[in-house]
Structure 1
Amino acid sequence: IDIIGQIHPPSSKNHKYILVAIEYFTKWVEAIPLKEVEQKDVIDFVEDHIITRFGIPQTITTDQGTAFTGQKVAQYVESQGIKLVILTPYYAQANGQVEAANKVVIGLIKKTYIKQASKLARDSCSNSMGI
């Protein structure tokens, strides 16, 4: 699991972050936008987007972000019987699959934003922003 962000500009709903998880065997990616990243957001994401859809994972691997290393997350994963693996800082390659998934997600966001921006500029002759 990893976090993309802070994204500039934020979305129209003020989402500034994307929480991303990848299943290592199938390479299935789950991602949600977030306004802020708190431990509760991580727990809700694991519960709603991982456990209820795919079952309880044996292991969750993440970096040392504060949303992943807090006591609430530690207690939650322990209560679910999940092993939490926290990687060495400044070594993104250790979490390579999710870092690769992040690049794909960022690329999709950029393409979508560019398409929306060009459509907005084309369809709105009174647009003075010059997107």
Structure 2
Amino acid sequence: MKLSLLLAGGAALALSACAQPVPKIAYDNPQPAHLVPLPPAPVQVVTLPEPLPLPGQLKKLPPAAANRLRPQPANPVVRVALANAAARINPTRDGYINAMQVFPWSDGALYEIYASPLHVTDIALQPGEHLISIA
């Protein structure tokens, strides 16, 4: 016990003799940074991409008889139900890209999303979009 303590003390003493003092560092006089204007970027002509129609957007026009205006129901509840049904967009088989259902955006549309318990459903919204109701 005494021998190991004596050896440890001797080793610590020998190692402390090898230590060097911290060197003195001379700092330069720092100069303040100056803002250098960037040269103007070269002008690039960029072609605009042509948007491709998504599946479901290339629908055939209905027959001329279907284009006539139908009288609106007198009951406002029925009118709202018909408007909601016309605005509703359901998932389609053609709307899948890889394993994701992609909906084409349409102003005022109601999107139905089917989720499964114990499975993650991720909804990516664009800036300014928000969920109105969750059922």
TM-score of the pair, normalised by structure 2: 0.23
- Going by fraction, where is strand more abundant, 1 or 2? 1
Identify the structure with bigger relative contact order (alpha carbons < 8 Å, sequence gap 6+).
1
